[in-house]
Amino acid sequence: MIPPRNADHRRPLTLRDVSEACGVSEMTVSRVLRNREDVSPATREKVLASARALGYVPNKIAGGLASQQVNLVAVIVPSLSNMVFPEVLGGISAALEDSGLQPVFGVTQYSVEKEENVLYEMLSWRPTGVILAGLEHTDAARAMLENAGIPIIEIMDSDGEPIDSVVGISHRGAGRQMAEAIVKAGYRKIGFLGTKMTDDHRARKRLEGLTEGLAEHGIELVDTEFYSGGSALKKGRELTEAILTRNPDLDFLYYSNDMIGAGGLLYCLEKGYDIPGKLGLAGFNGTDFLDGLPMKLATIDACRREIGEKAANIIAGKGYDDGVIGGHRIELTPRLDPGDTIRR
């Protein structure tokens, strides 16, 4: 075993060390390091030189306690392995870039109990605001959010009552929109394939929307097929094979996300199905890294990046010059891209 090189337990540097090194009061050093204007250029240079030379890194724990302000934004999402949420986080990071605020991410694995724990942890850091996915929370989490006294932005989903602000799309609406498109294109025997959605409320709402939308045209879903875990692409193939074997006369398959839709598409192409002629397909999310498949899968864009940006901007107070931080309701309109897999 190589001996530890970094196990020195030297006391970290403090303002006092910098102060002594440059012969300026701690207070003035603090001013310089916070880029305040009321310091003479001469002292400023002296201080910065010492700080750099020593390798001083300010202690935000102490700073936060003294100033009662912490420039963190808590961001809580169900998963990172989904490709959906990394894009939301990208939007948030970009929007917060020059705001002086820093996002901190937490993951719930689609469990409201885990969400409650993560939230408790994060609130204990006294963040400037909270962004979290969805409108469904435990009672305790809801209470914490209501009492936090900071902006709370619920994102992704606008089907329900937010605690404070909400930025999202109507997943029920997306389901209905897809139902309209399917019916208008002349498909009649429709199957649904998706995740087991005990805790994925948005997928559930899309299915509900689809069902309602079809019902208005007197159409009922013929069959459904659910999965959990595993490679989505592969699962898409398997589910598709299963549902088409059971119901050879299906003429449309609606997938709860683009990845399983892509798997289904590959399967159907291999089997020689006439797409979109005899069989139509659609997914959800507008996953652009799937561009490059043999055909472009029909999908509805979930506006992931934009949702992240808008939510972050509310907390950063950007673009909302009414000065009001709380109580925003931003419902984005997702665009349906028929791609190559819905006939026209």
Partner DNA sequence: GTGAAAGCGCTAACAT
Partner DNA sequence: ATGTTAGCGCTTTCAC
Residues 44-83 interacting with DNA (rule: CB under 7 A): 44, 58-59, 62-63, 65-69
How near is the Cβ of 128 to DNA at its closest, in Å? Answer: 14
Measured over all CA atoms, what is the biggest interatomic distance in the chain, rounded to whole angstroms? Answer: 85
Backbone angles phi, psi at 192, to 5 degrees: -120, 135
Choosing from 26, 58, 222, 241, the residue that interacts with a copy of itself (CB under 8 A) is: 58
Determine, following the binding rule CB under 8 A, whether residue 217 of this chain makes contact with a copy of itself. no
Choosing from 5, 9, 11, 344, the residue that interacts with DNA (CB under 7 A) is: 11
Determine, following the binding rule CB under 7 A, whether residue 25 of this chain makes contact with DNA. yes
Beta strands (DSSP E) in 11-122 are 72-77, 102-107
* Comparison of 45 and 146: residue with beta carbon closer to a copy of itself: 146
And the tokens for 258?
A: 């683009």
* Comparison of 176 and 304: residue with beta carbon closer to a copy of itself: 304
Determine, following the binding rule CB under 8 A, whether residue 232 of this chain makes contact with a copy of itself. yes
Determine how β-strand 336-337 pairs with β-strand 299-300: antiparallel
Question: Which amino acid, 311?
Answer: A
CA 63, distance to chain mean position in Å, is 30
Cα–Cα dist 252/278, whole Å: 8
And the tokens for 184?
A: 């208008």
User: Per-residue x/- marks for a copy of itself, 290-309, CB under 8 A?
Assistant: xxxxx---------------
Cα–Cα dist 42/31, whole Å: 13
How near is the Cβ of 163 to a copy of itself at its closest, in Å? Answer: 7
Size of the site for DNA (CB under 7 A): 29
Determine how β-strand 252-255 pairs with β-strand 223-227: unpaired
And the tokens for 125?
A: 């850091």
* Interacting residues with a copy of itself between 236 and 275 (CB under 8 A): 236-237, 259, 263, 266, 270
For the beta carbon of residue 275, count every other beta carbon within 10 angstroms.
20
Question: Which amino acid, 32?
Answer: V
Residue 146 site contact among a copy of itself, DNA, none (CB < 5 to 8 Å, cut-off depends on kind): a copy of itself
Cα–Cα dist 318/310, whole Å: 9
Choosing from 105, 187, 192, 284, the residue that interacts with a copy of itself (CB under 8 A) is: 105
Burial (0-12, 13-18, 19+ Cβ within 10 Å), 111: middle
Determine, following the binding rule CB under 8 A, whether residue 98 of this chain makes contact with a copy of itself. no
How near is the Cβ of 71 to DNA at its closest, in Å? Answer: 11
Determine, following the binding rule CB under 8 A, whether residue 1 of this chain makes contact with a copy of itself. yes
What are the CA-CA distances from residue 174 to residues 117, 171, 254, 335 (Å)?
Answer: 31, 5, 12, 9
Contact region for DNA (CB under 7 A) — 9-17, 141-149, 152-160, 216-224?
Answer: 9-17
How near is the Cβ of 296 to a copy of itself at its closest, in Å? Answer: 10
* Comparison of 107 and 222: residue with beta carbon closer to a copy of itself: 107
How near is the Cβ of 222 to a copy of itself at its closest, in Å? Answer: 24
DSSP assignment letter at 224: E
Cα–Cα dist 109/158, whole Å: 21
Residue 338 site contact among a copy of itself, DNA, none (CB < 5 to 8 Å, cut-off depends on kind): none
Cβ contact 257:284 at 8 Å:
yes
* Comparison of 32 and 178: residue with beta carbon closer to DNA: 32
Choosing from 20, 33, 138, 340, the residue that interacts with DNA (CB under 7 A) is: 33
* Interacting residues with a copy of itself between 165 and 204 (CB under 8 A): none
Cβ contact 301:285 at 8 Å:
yes
How near is the Cβ of 147 to DNA at its closest, in Å? Answer: 14
| Site residues, DNA (CB under 7 A) | 11-12, 14-16, 24-28, 30-31, 33-34, 38-40, 42-44, 58-59, 62-63, 65-69
